[in-house]
Amino acid sequence: MILISPFLLQTGDTIIQLYNNFITDFETKINLLKLAHFAVIASRQYPDKDAAITFLEGVITKLRDTRESRINEPILYVKMQIAAINLEKGNQKECKNSLEDGKTTLDSMTDVDPTVHASFYWISSQYHKSCQEFAEFYKNALLYLAYTTVESLSESFKLDLAFDLSLAALLGDNIYNFGELLAHPIVSNSLVVHDYFLIFLCILVFFSLYDCICCTC
């Protein structure tokens, strides 16, 4: 994944200008997945969401025109950002359609880059969160973490996700084994840094022990 200085991300349309005035000169000659990463970062600087979608759709067209053999990876990565923007706009139907198409594409590919998997499962988790489908959010968020290094996430992001996962584990249907969540660094790290997270941990441990007792009866 491309790493961009936080300073650049906070300076208006710097990344957009960098893409339009520099990257476009050789965009199809570099690694196309890296290009997709950069395009997604640039799209987040558009104040208008429709303009961001138009920009990303243009990137997809350019990617298709290259006719490279592994073009589905970068295209899917960009499409997931479009799905995310549609979700931010409140257009759940468009987001759902993109996720369904994305799942079909993902299942048809082999040796997929982890960032593509992570992108799909993250957007999928956020879609289910918006629908208050706790079990599906829980499953997809854990799959997202399976393709993501915890060290790459900010502390605030990890805390928010740990909180959401813990809540979903308690509210979701047919979630009986909390061991996977309890063992995950995103929960244990949040416990160390934030004392109030201990409450959620205690509740999860209680339910986990209760399930173990029930299974032995």
pLDDT at 17: 78
96: tokens are 């759902």
Same-domain status, 128 and 178: no
Name which residue leads in pLDDT, 197 or 128: 128
Same-domain status, 130 and 177: no
Same-domain status, 87 and 127: yes
- DSSP, residue by residue, 76-142: HHHHHHHHHHHHHTT-HHHHHHHHHHHHHHHHH-SS--HHHHHHHHHHHHHHHHHTT-HHHHHHHHH
pLDDT at 5: 41
Picking from 128, 148, 168, the residue at the C-terminal end of a domain is: 148
Q: What are the pLDDT digits (tens) for 63-94?
A: 998 888 789 999 999 999 999 999 999 999 99
164 touches 137 (CB < 8 A): yes
73 touches 63 (CB < 8 A): no
Domain extent at residue 185: 150-217
Q: What are the pLDDT digits (tens) for 194-213?
A: 555 555 555 555 555 444 43
Same-domain status, 132 and 173: no
Same-domain status, 139 and 157: no
Average confidence (pLDDT) over 112-129:
97
Same-domain status, 154 and 111: no
Average confidence (pLDDT) over 161-176:
83
With vertex at residue 103, the alpha carbon angle to CA 24 and CA 101, rounded to the nearest 5 degrees, is: 70
Same-domain status, 54 and 123: yes
Q: Name the pTM for this structure.
A: 0.82
Same-domain status, 112 and 27: yes
pLDDT at 94: 97
User: Cα(151)–Cα(217) distance, rounded to whole angstroms?
Assistant: 40
Same-domain status, 41 and 141: yes
pLDDT surpasses 80 at 22: no
pLDDT at 118: 97
Picking from 121, 148, 175, the residue at the C-terminal end of a domain is: 148
Q: How many domains does the chain have?
A: 2
Same-domain status, 116 and 14: yes
Picking from 103, 120, 148, the residue at the C-terminal end of a domain is: 148
Same-domain status, 44 and 130: yes
CATH assignment of the domain containing 14: 1.25.40
User: Cα(6)–Cα(113) distance, rounded to whole angstroms?
Assistant: 24
Place of tokens 């790290």: 189
Same-domain status, 1 and 100: yes
User: Cα(1)–Cα(152) distance, rounded to whole angstroms?
Assistant: 10
